[in-house]
Amino acid sequence: MKAFRRLRRNFEHGVHPAHHKQQTENLPIQRVPFGKDYIMPLGQHIGIPARAIVTAGERVLRGQMIAEPGGFVSTSLHSPVTGTVKEIGDFRGVDGRFAPAIAIEADAFATQQVDAGTSIDWEAMSQEEFIEAVQMAGIVGMGGAAFPAHVKLSVPDGVRIRSLLINGAECEPYLTTDHRLMLERPEALLEGAEIMRQKLGAEEAVIGIEANKPDAIEIVQKHIQPGAPVRVVPLKVKYPQGAEKMMIKSVFDVEVPAGQLPRDVEVNVNNVGTIVAIADYFLRGMPLIERVVTVAGPGVTYPANLIVPLGTPVRDVVQFCGGLKPGTREIVMGGPMMGRPIASLDVPILKGCSGVLVFTEEQTARRREYPCISCGRCLEACPYFLNPSRLARLSKSRMFDEMKAYNVFDCVECGCCTFSCPSNIPIVQLIRTAKDDLSHRKEPDA
Amino acid sequence: MNNLLLAPAIMVGIGLFFGTVLAIAQRFLKVDEDPRIEATNELLPGTNCGACGQPGCLPFAEKLVAGEIDPGQCTVSSDENLEQIAEYLQVDAGRAEKLVARLRCGGGGLQAHQIAEYRGFEGCRAAAVVSGGGKGCAWGCLGLADCERACTFDAIHMNANGLPQVNMDKCRACPDCVAACPRDLFELVPLNQKLYVQCNIPLAGEAATQLCAVACDACGKCAADAAPGLITMEGNLPVIDYSSGGEPKPDAVFRCATRSIVWLEGEQFQNQESRKAGAV
């Protein structure tokens, strides 16, 4: 019976990419030494960009707020280093476009210590105060989307959250940041879970971990106090197990309807990294100024799991890992399935960047594209039950408006369709192209 | 034999019956339509390009007959066609000024510095969603021919330098390329406006020129050399105000070190092949 229930811990469709995690899963998290130049883009989270509150030439301390939220769906930024604000101007971002950012030059003689020990009395805080505190700490979803965490926390009246679901699936190949965090800081994870659970008014906290991390499951389970309303749920190894709607289906066997949010099924989903960041802020007074990044892939000399101050250029991170091997062709920010290749090594590490993956010719060679043979593998792979092959064909013939009828905006670009396509059609890129065209559509009169 | 004839007989019977019904309907339920609309529509090019601002040629013809717009609004028709329509409807042709699509970028493969290699799906917008392609400049032409594919009139072709060359005779100034460009580089410019800024980089000085050999470095010499008020510097780029009254002259482009402001006698990028990167 138990084995049978285990089988249900699953969602429909999805794919099974090779996980390639051996490279870094046993490497302890290291700290990267401080460099010289840091670039903090004002729009590194989803929503309205932050507003800079410092000026060029000003001295800033590590952990000091340098930009305030530009609205409700926005968050603040803190200086990752003690140093001087060099410039507030446009810098190249991950998407290749130039966007406003604060450039900070680190002070080579500063101790770079955060004024620690200022724990915050979170228990006495009201719901509103807590939400504001999370916004002021600059905490966003650390799984990759970088959605401001406080927006998820503020539930409208009449909606109640039954469960806090903590996402430790880390279903993307190569990445091991959440895995290492769970192994090395299970106490912080459980502390953060308790804070979040109480503030959300949830009955229980559930930590979902893919079954290919038995050590993490064991360690987290060992740290749970007897009687605490926290449980660990091992999940089937499958991509995209870590997508929030998929995970809710796997853990609670509830489907979140298209266009609705997890809160509509009384669940709040947060990444392991986000929960640890919450604990770090409320118990240790440390705003979000650094994050764990996996540097891996066949093109990097020494793969590693690193604590990187936000705003560090990728160049410095790769240099710390021994540089690039000859034959490197592509550097991807994020995981190989959903991450984005970067065109310049000067782009900084952002709040939502969980990995820097370096690939060589072998993995990135563009295989010859064949016509769609209507095999239907992408339909069977799509966890959102869309029709990727139809969407790709429409996008190729630039019939973007018709794609709306095929629910193109429900696509989360997880990459299952492209992964499963035997004809090597770049389906996700075609869908992204269409979404970009539809959202930047110019009015004929303008 | 009987059975064999029965089926055709029934079909013929049904056909005759509905034919009669239709004939009667045509006689008594007829909607009177201005025959001039149909005739005007025949004279229009029938491409339904939308350049006139109407959804297609038939709605344009309806408005023409109603006298709400001039035939000249159709930029696609030849002059003779427009004359014919004007004569038929007894109105003034009101030919609008000839517009042509111009690209606000001169940085082809030989000029714009490459910082990465793009190997994804061929298309500008597809590249724009992946780190903005391989060129260092984040504002210039991506060179992957979205405009060439979008052009209804076969007027745009990519030249050897990777820039779209607009055939001015074929260009009908419909907004297809304007809409297709993910970087908003195409604009429809009157043919007689010969002074043109061929750059879109909002950076100044070395920051701009290290991205592209023909980038505007915002030195402002063109503004100083042109008639007063004709050229102003806005956001590190010269803006030409043809309504200012100052007469545009080729003098303004002579001192441009990067040749980002040009005097166009005809098509853009005509002699670009001879102008190699760095040889400015």
For the stretch A381-430, pLDDT in tens is: 999 999 999 999 999 988 899 999 999 999 999 999 999 999 999 999 99
Helix (H) or strand (E) holding A439: helix A427-439
My answer on whether B239 and B154 are in the same domain is yes
Taken in order A53, A55, A59, A63, the sign of the CA dihedral is: positive
Residue B3 domain-assigned (yes or no): no
Q: What is the mean pLDDT of chain B?
A: 85
pLDDT of B139 > 60? The answer is: yes
Taken in order B154, B160, B166, B169, the sign of the CA dihedral is: negative
The distance in angstroms from the start CA to the end CA of chain A is 64
Residue B202 domain-assigned (yes or no): yes
- Comparing C-alpha atoms, which of A222, A257, A259, A252 is closest to residue A235? A252
My answer on whether B72 and B107 are in the same domain is no
Domains of chain A by start residue, with CATH: 2-25+117-284 (3.40.50.11540), 377-439 (no CATH)
Peptide bond before residue A240 is cis, with ω within 30 degrees of 0: yes
For A437, which of B119, B125, B133 is closest by C-beta distance?
B125
pLDDT at A60: 92
**Percentage of chain B lying above the pLDDT 70 cut:** 95
Query: Do B40 and B57 meet the contact criterion of CB atoms below 8 Å apart?
Result: no
Comparing A336-340, B145-149, B189-193, the range with the smallest average pLDDT is B189-193
pLDDT of A117 > 70? The answer is: no
Residue B201 domain-assigned (yes or no): yes
DSSP code, position B29: S
Identify all chain B residues contacting A366, using CB atoms and an 8 Å cutoff: 119-120
Whichever domain contains B84, its CATH number is 1.10.15.40
My answer on whether B103 and B232 are in the same domain is yes
Residue B271 domain-assigned (yes or no): no
Residue B16 domain-assigned (yes or no): no
Q: Tell me the C-alpha distance between A171 and A19, whole Å.
A: 8
Q: Please say which residue of B89, B118, B153 terminates a domain.
A: B89
My answer on whether B138 and B236 are in the same domain is yes
My answer on whether B141 and B249 are in the same domain is yes
Q: Tell me the C-alpha distance between A435 and A442, whole Å.
A: 13
My answer on whether B119 and B257 are in the same domain is yes
Domain of B242 in residue numbering reads as 99-263
Please spell the DSSP secondary structure of B180-192, one letter per residue: H-TT--EEEEETT
pLDDT of A181 > 70? The answer is: yes
Which residue in B has a C-alpha nearest to residue A395's C-alpha?
B126
Q: How many domains does chain B have?
A: 2
**Helix, coil or strand: residue A358:** strand
Q: Tell me the C-alpha distance between A385 and A255, whole Å.
A: 12
Q: Residues A111-118: what's their mean pLDDT?
A: 70
Q: Residues A90-117: what's their mean pLDDT?
A: 85
Per DSSP (E only), the strands in A250-301 are 267-271, 290-296
Given an 8 Å threshold on Cβ–Cβ distance, is A444 in contact with B149?
A: no
Whichever domain contains B242, its CATH number is 3.30.70.20
Q: Residues B43-60: what's their mean pLDDT?
A: 84
List of residues 6+ apart from A207 with CB closer than 8 A: A166, A168, A189, A193, A220, A230, A231, A232, A233, A272
Q: Residues A89-98: what's their mean pLDDT?
A: 88
Residue B130 domain-assigned (yes or no): yes
My answer on whether B240 and B108 are in the same domain is yes
For B120, which of A95, A398, A426 is closest by C-beta distance?
A426
My answer on whether B149 and B177 are in the same domain is yes
My answer on whether B259 and B207 are in the same domain is yes
Residue B45 domain-assigned (yes or no): yes
Q: What is the mean pLDDT of chain A?
A: 90
Which residue in B has a C-alpha nearest to residue A440's C-alpha?
B182
Query: Do A73 and A104 meet the contact criterion of CB atoms below 8 Å apart?
Result: no
Identify all chain B residues contacting A95, using CB atoms and an 8 Å cutoff: 129, 131-132
Query: How would you classify the pairing of strands B156-158 and B164-166?
Result: antiparallel
Identify all chain A residues contacting B116, using CB atoms and an 8 Å cutoff: 343-344
Q: Residues A349-357: what's their mean pLDDT?
A: 93
Residue B27 domain-assigned (yes or no): no
| B52 and chain A in contact, CB less than 8 A | no
pLDDT of A1 > 70? The answer is: no
pLDDT of B159 > 70? The answer is: yes
My answer on whether B81 and B173 are in the same domain is no
Q: Select the more confidently predicted residue: B269 or A179.
A: A179
Confidence category of residue A442, pLDDT binned at 50, 70, 90: low
Q: Residues A8-32: what's their mean pLDDT?
A: 88
My answer on whether B51 and B140 are in the same domain is no
| B132 and chain A in contact, CB less than 8 A | yes
**Helix, coil or strand: residue A331:** strand
My answer on whether B160 and B227 are in the same domain is yes
